[in-house]
Amino acid sequence: MPANTSAEIGVRDLRTQLSDVLHESTVRGRITYVTSRGRRVAAIVPVDIAEAAEGGQQTPGDAPSV
């Protein structure tokens, strides 16, 4: 996978471009920060990065892995 790049997108624009944002995350490894009123509120990241960030830790309320 190519080197990660990042971008920002507003919630309003994300609604119309979600398919493209997901494609960029999957194919190019892009991290996209979602903004609301100019402030970062969430991120869309490739699965391998998200899983590495979780580090196998479960949060309270999660069902145990089978």
The pLDDT tens digits for 38-64 are 999 999 999 999 999 998 665 555 655
Residue-range domain boundaries for the chain: 6-48
From the list 14, 38, 37, the residue with the least C-alpha distance to 25 is: 14
Confidence of residue 5 (pLDDT cuts 50, 70, 90): confident
Report the pLDDT averaged over residues 22-50.
97
6-48: CATH homologous superfamily? Answer: YefM-like domain (3.40.1620.10)
Rg (CA), the chain: 14
Q: CA-CA distance, 64 to 16, in Å (whole number)?
A: 35
